[in-house]
Amino acid sequence: MSQATEPATLEQILAAAAAAAGTAAAATPAQRAEWLNAAADALDASADELIALANQETHLPASPRLQGELKRTTFQLRLFGEVLADGSFLGATVDHADAAWPMGPRPDIRRLLTPIGPVLVFAASNFPFAFSVAGGDTASALAAGCPVVLKAHSGHPELSARTGEVLREALVKAGAPEGIFAVVFGQQNGVTALKDPRIQAASFTGSVPGGRALFDIATSRPSPIPFYGELGSVNPVVVTQTAIDARGEAIAKAYAGSFTLGAGQFCTKPGLLFLPEGHGLEDTLREAVSAIPAQPMLNERIAAGFADGLAKLSEVAGVEVLSESGGAEGISHGATLLATTAKAFLADGDTVREECFGPASLIVTYADQDELISLLGVMEPGLTATIQGEESDVDWIRPVLPSLTRVAGRLLWNDWPTGVTVTWAQEHGGPYPATTAPTSTSVGTAAIERFLRPIAWQGFPDALLPEPLQENNPWSLPRRTDGKR
C-alpha cells in the first residue's frame, strides 16, 4: 500500500503545480487537446494492468464493470479534446467602443474565461477510474488549462499510483509542463494542500461529513476558493398508478436492478420509491429483490457503514423489511427492500430521508397527489429525480414537477438514474447536500466551466489582448461581437 506523501515531496508538488500554471494557461486549445488525447491513448494501452489492479483493490468485476468504466474515462478525456476544438467554452465576447451607446459612450470591452489556476482533486472510492485519478474532475481541469494535484483515495492506492504514473508520463511526453499533474497520498496531506494558497479550486466526490468538512476549510481560508463537492443523494422515483397498470412488473424488476447495481454504491442509486397506495407490486418486488445475490462492497469501512445505516433505518417506527437476499458475510451484502407509509415518513425525521450507501432502498406509499407533494416537500435535494408515468399522466404530473425540480439537478422520464452518460447536455449536480455548488456539473462538457474565471479587458491595444480577443480572431473561435454571435 502506498504510504502518505512526505511533507517535502508535497511541497515540491505544490510548487511545481504553481510553476506550471502559467505555461498550461498559455497553451492553445489544440495543444491541450493533444495532451488529453495522448493521456487517453496511454491509459487504453495500459488497460489490462490497470483493470487487474482495480479488481484486486475494489472487488469490482473486471468485466463488464471496470472495462466499461475505463472506456468511459478515456472517452471523456477525448471528449474534452472536442470541447477545446470547438472553442465556445471560452465565452469570448467583444464589445467595440460605441459613442452612441444608450448608457453613454461605451469603451472597448472584451471578456474571456481563463484558467483559474492549480486545482486539487479528491478522488472517489466507488469509481476507481471515472471519478478517480484520471476521472472527470481531472479531465475537465486539465482541459481548462489548470495543473492538477490529485489526492488519492485510500480504497485503491496502488491503482492510484500506477494510473498517476501513466497519466503524468503521457501528458509531459505530449508537451505539457512538468508540474501539470501529480498524485499525493494521505488524509492530512489533502487538508494541507487544500489550505495551501497556491491551490485555487478543489473538487470532491464522497460522503456528506467528509465533503462538508473540506468545504468548510476551503471557504474559511484567508483567500477562500471554489469547492465543488458531490456529497449525498437519495434520488427519489415517483411511480403513477397508470404506469403500474401498464407495466408494473417491468418497473418493479428494473427498480430492483437499479438500486442494487454495483452493490448499491452509485451516487445515483434510487434510494426512495414513491408508489400509490394499493399498488399491488409487493410480490413482484419481493421476488425481484430476493433473486439478487450478495455482492462484495468496496472495502470494510463502506460495508460497515452500510450495515450501520441499514440497521438504523430498519429500527424506525413504521418501517418494515419487505424483502432481503443473500445475507451478509465479510464485506459482501445482499439486497434489502424496506417499506413505510407517508405518515411514518413525514413523522420520522432524518433517518428515512438520508442516503443509505449500499444495496438498500425504501418504498413510501402515497394516497394522492397532495400527499405526494407533501412528501417531496420535506426531502433533502439530490442529484436526480425520476418519474415512471404514461403520456396520459401529463396533467397529473405537471403540478408535481416543481417539487421535483426543487430537489434534483437531473430529471428522468421512464428511465433509471444509475446511468450518467458523458455528453454535452449532461447535468450531474444539484442543491446541497447533493453538491456544494448547485450551479455546476461534474459530468459532461460543462464541467470545464468550474475551473475557469472571467476577465474583462477594457481599452487594451490589440497586441496585448489574448489571441481569442484580438480583432482578427487568430484562433477562429466562436465569439459574440457587439451583441451578435
Active site residues: 230, 267
> CA 35: distance to chain centroid?
23
Q: Are strands 480-481 and 93-95 parallel, antiparallel or unpaired?
A: parallel
Evaluated on CA atoms 424, 429, 431, 435, the torsion sign reads negative
Tell me the residue length of the chain: 485
Q: Return the closest-CA partner of residue 436 out of 197, 182, 122.
A: 122
Question: In 3-state terms, what secondary structure has residue 107?
Answer: coil
**Interatomic CA distance for residues 263 and 388, integer angstroms:** 23
Beta carbons within 8 Å of 277's beta carbon, 6+ residues apart: 365, 366, 367
Contact 311, 344 (CB under 8 A): no
Secondary structure, 3-state, 255-270: HHHHHHHHHHCCCCCC
Beta carbons within 8 Å of 139's beta carbon, 6+ residues apart: 36, 73, 76, 77, 80
Query: How distant, in Å, are the alpha carbons of 397, 398, 426 from that of 403?
Result: 10, 10, 21
